[in-house]
Structure 1
Amino acid sequence: MKAATHSRVTTSAGLALLLLLSAPTGAKASAGLTALPATGSVDPRFLSYNIEMLEVTGGRFWRPYGSPGADRYEYRPPLNLGDRRLRAAAKALAPAYVRYSGTWANATWFADTATAPEKPPAGFDSVLTQQQWRGAIDFANATGAAIVTSFPTSPGTRDAKGVWQSDTAARWLAFTRRAGGRIAAAEFANEPNMVTLTRPPEGYTGADYRRDYASFATWLRRASPGTLLLAPGFAELGEPTRTMSKRNKSMQQFEGEELLTAELPRPDGFSFHFYGGASERCGGKIMGHSLEKALSPAWLDQLDPALARMKALRDRVAPGVPLWNTESAETACGGNPWASSFADSFRFVDTLGRSAQAGVRVFMHNTLAASDYGLLEEHDFTPRPNFWAALLWKRTMGTTVLVPPPSPAPELRIYAHCLPNRGGGVGLAVINLGDEARSLPVGGNARTWIFRAAKLDSKAITISGRTPALSTAGVISGLEGETVAGELMVPGRSIAFLAATSAGNKACRGSAGQRR
């Protein structure tokens, strides 16, 4: 979708904007935010996050830029899920889903004995110990997160004929219950369309996969009827990375109906992943990804064709099933160097708003605290700009999605939701991609939080003139925001969140779905 189209300034919308701009200041609030109609809804846990299974077990993940060594991977010890600051950051994003999965989960063996083996059994690459999984369950319970995962599919889970067996998954599920945990939703495998990454038997076909998926779905619904079934977990990419990936002869790939058809068990959520491209670690630089393009409409808008493809596939194989984006970030392979900076917050907030408008029910950011695309620094859990954007999204953008007010300029992108816990209140997320300040009528008094940085690739931001912080003791500061009345002035290259508690929007009154 082009920026000019995205602004929604159609003939009727343009007339509405003209009426708003010509009305007295006090009338702008009631005529503008009050009349925004509802267009859909999202899950109360809409904005969620991933913790890679590899972070729980320890292992080799994407090496951060600037870290010594030529290998694109770097060993990490198991993540300290009991860290006070990490838990405080996660709790601030509640309610959420925490997805323990990723490529490495496809070959992780659960050790159901008190003492784990030094090496994984044949057919697996890593070991998840009882202690590690207890820690993951405790983290979720303590931070208001519901667990989402995928199950191993590597050779160790298969019989002599290469058919997937449920015994490994059953042992893991049984222990989860004994440890006080619950798996809220599950996928069969992580990114099964990238078949090679699921460690399939030689000669594995689409028919073989559909057989195994059907077996998994039947088992899951019998063994854990309260767990939502997510499928197909399709990995989608932006261009030109998508085309280049399909030309990669070393990676066997399946297309849509090879994974899921209307005849197979119907999932509760139609799941997919989306990355705009590949990071510099995986050749992204030669495909044109750059800091200079981080705010370009061409980069931001490429989500649209990916969503269109996923909707079309969903409508063919599971019509009416809600869309779940269970893994997404700036680029695959750990993110680009600027994924941890203010530059990526424009994409992040725009993707959240655009996804909610398009009917995506759940959106899971990858990751909470690993590599360059993490919301937090991975060693001391200092928040990055995207964490603060996520936190203010949680505080201002509730479950009811509204038709946004018309934008006065193509470079100003506006998203609107009902406020959480505020009857009649409206929340806005406003992105100014241009260099000039832009104003937006908001009527009566409202609270706003404006993100700015001295440089696009800076990790240091201010929010309405203050520096936000999360102390090691877990205390958040610097989010006081400021009061505005009549209109919101959004500086060039900035992001604003706004809470209009007195908007009096009828679509936002008395909605139980607004409660978090």
Structure 2
Amino acid sequence: PNSFEKKAKVRVDGYQLGLDFVHLRKMMSKSKLYRDGGLYGPDVGQPRDHRVDLLDSFLQSGAKAIDACTWHHYYVNGRDTSLQDFLDPEVLDSLALKTKEVQKTVNSVSPGKGVWLGETSSAFGGGAAGLSDTFVAGFMWLDKLGLGARLGLNVVMRQVLVGSGSYHLVDDDLDPLPDYWLSVLYKKLVGPEVLKIQAVSDMGQSKRVRMYLHCANKKSYSSGAVVLMSMNLNKKAARISVPALVSGSTVDAFVLQSDT
């Protein structure tokens, strides 16, 4: 709703939008088809001036109507980004900053309300051609899934499955792109339980070797199994050593590399 002002010269009032959601919830409760359905919103863009104000005022009137609060996140502008941005830990860490801003706003008005990413990908504006649809986009995507889970984002909705710019998961010929296979692996292997992990190198804590640890998906592995997701943003190879407690365990390794 915060984009209406730029695209249609219409400024959406957050408080009124919240009241509209309350009215919609009442309408849904009277419908046999929708009375048990979920209602999610307001799908604001990532925090910035009016967007934060709109979210706060929306929640003041409409928090009780929604099952979870949704917002959108993109790392960069698809029209002027670069390969280096996709591998920059500072760019990847921006998700944490924006998520915490949204969570702070939500918790100040409606403590305990869930926060979802209702739309997200690498670059806004349809993605970055030659980047968002290639192997390098996987660094942003996997990091967003891992970091988002650690931050408490219960749901992450990817923009988009097919069509629309360069950030689709399946191309126009219906051939899956790298992020599609990354999504399949994540859904198959990773369970919802997030575990604490810290990666330390000889130079101290590393931001360029990123790691996330989860309990494994119980549909794929027995209880007690864990999934370690790791990615190397460096140009040189990195060696990962795990504690002796698990070093003797059976390991299924899924190694994803580009053609070049």
Unaligned runs of 5+ in 1: 1-191, 247-251, 456-516
Among 106, 112, 131, the residue aligned to 1:314: 106
The one of 229, 233, 244 equivalent to 1:433 is 233
Q: Which has the higher contact order (CA 8 A, sep 6+)?
A: 1
Cα shift at 1:265: 2.4
Tell me the SS of whatever aligns to 1:218. Answer: helix
Measure, in 1, the Cα distance between the counterparts of 2:108 and 2:74. 23
Aligned position for 1:418: 215
Q: CA shift at 1:253, angstroms?
A: 9.5
**Is the aligned partner of 1:325 residue 2:97?**
no
- 4+ long deviations beyond 6 Å: 197-200
Q: Which amino acid aligns with 2:73?
A: F
* Mapped partners of 1:389, 1:256: distance in 2: 32
The answer to whether the 8 Å contact 1:342/1:453 transfers is: yes
Identity %: 23
Relative to 1, partners in 2 of residues 1:341 and 1:258: Cα closer, same or farther, differing over 3 Å? same
1:180-259 correspondence to structure 2 within 5 Å: 192-196=1-5, 205-223=13-31, 224-236=34-46, 255-259=54-58
Contact 2:71 2:118 in 1 (8 A): yes
> Contact conserved, 2:126 with 2:167, CA < 8 A, in 1?
yes
Shift of 1:234: 1.5
Aligned counterpart, 2:195: 402
8 Å Cα contact 1:231-1:269 kept in structure 2: yes
SS at match of 2:239: strand
* Aligned 1:54-453 pairs, distance under 5 A: 192-196=1-5, 205-223=13-31, 224-236=34-46, 255-261=54-60, 264-280=63-79, 285=80, 289-337=81-129, 338-370=131-163, 371-377=165-171, 379-408=172-201, 410=206, 411-421=208-218, 422-442=222-242, 443=247, 444-453=249-258
- Counterpart Cα distance in 1 of 2:189 and 2:52: 40
Letter matched to residue 414 of structure 1: M
Output the CA distance in 2 between the equivalents of 1:229 and 1:263. Answer: 11
Larger Rg: 1
1:388 to partner: Cα distance: 1.4
Aligned pair in 2 of structure 1 residues 212, 266: CA closer, same or farther (>3 Å)?
closer
Distance across 1 between alignment mates of 2:21 and 2:239: 52
Q: How far has the Cα of 1:336 moved from its partner?
A: 0.4
Are 2:5 and 2:12, in contact at CA under 8 Å, matched by a contact in 1? no
Tell me, in whole angstroms, the C-alpha distance in 2 between the residues paired with 1:273 and 1:429.
Answer: 24
Cα gap change, 1:196 to 1:446, in 2 (>3 Å): same
Q: 1:415 and 1:205 mapped to 2: Cα distance? A: 39
- Paired letter, 2:21: Y
Pairwise CA distance, 1:345: 0.6
Distance 1:450 1:394, change over 3 A: same
Give distance in 2, aligned partners of 1:276 and 1:260: 25
Letter in 2 for 1:446: V
Closer, same or farther in 2 for the Cα pair 1:329/1:388, shift >3 Å?
Answer: same
Structure 2 contact 15–62 (Cα < 8 Å) conserved: no
CA apart distance, 1:314: 1.0
Aligned letter for 2:77? A
Q: Find the aligned partners of 1:253 and 1:311 in 2 and give their Cα distance.
A: 11
Question: Is the Cα–Cα contact under 8 Å of residues 193 and 259 in structure 1 kept in the other structure?
Answer: no
TM normalised by structure 1 equals: 0.44
Residue identity opposite 2:257 in structure 1: R
Return the alpha-carbon distance in structure 2 between the equivalents of residues 307 and 406 of structure 1.
22
Separation in 2 of the partners of 1:374 and 1:222? 37
Question: Is the Cα contact below 8 Å between 1:194 and 1:253 reproduced in 2?
Answer: no
Corresponding residue SS for 2:40:
strand
- Distance (whole Å) between structure 1 residues aligned to residue 16 and residue 233 of structure 2: 47
For the 8 Å contact 1:196–1:253, the answer to whether it is kept is: no
Looking at structure 1, the residues matched to 12 and 45 of structure 2 have their Cα atoms a distance apart, in angstroms, of 19
Aligned residues: 244
Looking at structure 2, the residues matched to 385 and 203 of structure 1 have their Cα atoms a distance apart, in angstroms, of: 38
Q: How far apart in 2 are the matches of 1:203 and 1:348?
A: 32
- State the AA in 2 paired with 1:427: V
- Helix, strand or coil: the match of 1:231? strand
Report the counterpart of residue 82 of structure 1 in structure 2. none
